[in-house]
C-alpha cells in the first residue's frame, strides 16, 4: 500500500511538471454597431461561431458626463472594465465606455442593450465577439489616451507572453471618417460614425500573438480619447486552481 501511494504521488508530481497543452487561441468572430442614438441603444449582434468573449464600446459625443448605466448581451450583464468610463472634459468633450463578458455567453443572435440615465449626448456602440476553446479573461486594459491634440495616438498593451486578441474603441476630433484610419495591421470591421465634428470607431489587431501590441490609429493632431484591451483564454494555471485536475480537493 505504501509503494502504491508513492507511485501515485510520483505520477501526480510528474503530471504537474509536464508542459501543459497549448489551448486554441482567441480569434475575431463578428462585429455589430448601433449609431447615433441619445437614449437607450438596442441592437442585434449575430455571431458567426460560438462566442467565448464579448467586447462592447459606447462612444459618447459632446459631453463628459457619465450617462451609461450598463450593457447586457443576450440579457447577461457585462462587466465595465477598469478605466471606464474615460471622460474627456477639455477640447471636444467626449466619453468612451468599455464592457466585457468572458463566460456564460449565450449562443446565436442576441440583443445587446446599452442603458443610459442621460440623453444629452449622441452615442454609438460597437460590439465584437471572439471565438476560442475556453472562456476568456482580460490580460490588459489601457485607458490613457485622452488628449486635446495628438497625432497618431497609440498605447502599448502588455500581453505578458500570453496569446491575446487586441482591440480599441475611440473618439477622434477628425472632421471626416477618412481622416481617422486604422494603423498598420489593424482592421475596421464596422463603419466609423461622423456626427459632424468628430469620428467614432472600433478596430481590432489582425495578429493574434503573445508579443506586446501598439494599439491606436492614424490621424492629424486632433482630439482623441480611447480604451484599448487585450483578452485571452483563461490560463491553464487558472484552470488548475479551479480544480479541473482534481488537485487539492
Q: What is the β-pairing status of strands 94-101 and 79-80?
A: antiparallel
> Is residue 50 assigned to a domain?
yes
> Is residue 241 assigned to a domain?
no
Q: Which of 42, 25, 22, 46 is nearest to 34 (CA)?
A: 42
Reported as a single tens digit per residue, the pLDDT across 12-32 is 444 444 444 444 589 999 999
Q: How far is CA 132 from CA 53, 62, 100, 124, in A?
A: 8, 37, 15, 27
Residue 246 has pLDDT above 80, yes or no: no
Residue 249 has pLDDT above 80, yes or no: no
> Is residue 242 assigned to a domain?
no
> Is residue 194 assigned to a domain?
yes
C-alpha cell read off for 14: 510528474
> Is residue 11 assigned to a domain?
no
CA 244/CA 237 separation, integer angstroms: 10
Find the domain containing 200 and state its range. 28-235
Residues 119 and 185: beta-carbon distance below 8 Å: no
> Is residue 246 assigned to a domain?
no
Reported as a single tens digit per residue, the pLDDT across 80-119 is 999 999 999 999 999 999 999 999 999 999 999 999 998 8
pLDDT of residue 15: 42
pLDDT of residue 19: 42
> Is residue 145 assigned to a domain?
yes
Reported as a single tens digit per residue, the pLDDT across 116-149 is 998 889 999 999 999 999 999 999 999 999 999 9
Q: Which of 68, 111, 98 is nearest to 231 (CA)?
A: 98
> Is residue 224 assigned to a domain?
yes
**DSSP code per residue over 11-65:** HHHHHHHSPPPPPPPPEEEEEEEEEEESS-EEEEE--SS--SEEEEEEEEES--S
Residue 5 has pLDDT above 80, yes or no: no
| Count of structural domains within the chain | 1
- For the whole model, what pTM was predicted? 0.86
The H-or-E segment that residue 241 falls in is: helix 236-241
Position 37 confidence tier, pLDDT thresholds 50, 70, 90: confident
Residue owning grid cell 495578429: 207
Q: Measured in whole angstroms, how far is the alpha carbon of residue 186 from the centre of its chain? A: 14
Biggest alpha carbon distance in the chain? 79
Amino acid at each position: 500500500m505504501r509503494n502504491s501511494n508513492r507511485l501515485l504521488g510520483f505520477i501526480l508530481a510528474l503530471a504537474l511538471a509536464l508542459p501543459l497543452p497549448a489551448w486554441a487561441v482567441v480569434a475575431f468572430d463578428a462585429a455589430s454597431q448601433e449609431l447615433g442614438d441619445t437614449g437607450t441603444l438596442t441592437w442585434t449582434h449575430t455571431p458567426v461561431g460560438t462566442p467565448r468573449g464579448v467586447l462592447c464600446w459606447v462612444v459618447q459625443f459632446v459631453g463628459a458626463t457619465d450617462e451609461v448605466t450598463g450593457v447586457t448581451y443576450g440579457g447577461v450583464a457585462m462587466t465595465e472594465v477598469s478605466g471606464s468610463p474615460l471622460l474627456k472634459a477639455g477640447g471636444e468633450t467626449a466619453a468612451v465606455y468599455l464592457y466585457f463578458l468572458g463566460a456564460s455567453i449565450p449562443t446565436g443572435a442576441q440583443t445587446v442593450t446599452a442603458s443610459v440615465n442621460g440623453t444629452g449626448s449622441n452615442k454609438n456602440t460597437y460590439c465584437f465577439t471572439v471565438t476560442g476553446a475556453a472562456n476568456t479573461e482580460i490580460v490588459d486594459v489601457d485607458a490613457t489616451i485622452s488628449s486635446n491634440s495628438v497625432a497618431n495616438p497609440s498605447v502599448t498593451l502588455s500581453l505578458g507572453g500570453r496569446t491575446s486578441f487586441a482591440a480599441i474603441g475611440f473618439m477622434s476630433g477628425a472632421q471626416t471618417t477618412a481622416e481617422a484610419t486604422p494603423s498598420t495591421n489593424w482592421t475596421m470591421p464596422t463603419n466609423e460614425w461622423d456626427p459632424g465634428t468628430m469620428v467614432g470607431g472600433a478596430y481590432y489587431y489582425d495578429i493574434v500573438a503573445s508579443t506586446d501590441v501598439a494599439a491606436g490609429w492614424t490621424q492629424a493632431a486632433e482630439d482623441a480619447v480611447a480604451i484599448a484591451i487585450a483578452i485571452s483564454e483563461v490560463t491553464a494555471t487558472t484552470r488548475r486552481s479551479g480544480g479541473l485536475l482534481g488537485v487539492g480537493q
